[in-house]
Amino acid sequence: MNYTDSDFPVCIREAEMATLAGGMVVRYEESGGARDVFVDDEWSSRATLFPGMNLELESGGTRYLLSADDNGLRVERMA
């Protein structure tokens, strides 16, 4: 499944994607409880997040907060 900006906030699961404003695509792969966050077609992860950790991204002039939790990766717009 591919979520878009109008769906946020959303918690994506492994193999799902979120398309941010500006077309940036975020996905993750789980590795030992951590979420390896990938942006677009990157071969290496942008960040490794354990539950409770966050990553801020900007795309299309909008800021986003990605938060790892026990259910997946939460994607939401920042104010």
The CA R_g of the chain, rounded to the nearest whole Å, is 11
Encoded tokens for 59: 């795309």
Identify the band that residue 79 occupies on the pLDDT scale cut at 50, 70 and 90. Answer: confident
Residue corresponding to tokens 């960040």: 47
Q: Please write the tens of the pLDDT for every residue from 17-50.
A: 999 999 999 999 999 999 999 999 999 999 999 9
Q: So what's the pLDDT on residue 39? A: 97
Bridge partners, residue 76, by sequence: 65
Round to the nearest angstrom and report the end-to-end CA distance of the chain.
26
Q: Look at residue 62 and tell me whether its pLDDT is greater than 90.
A: yes
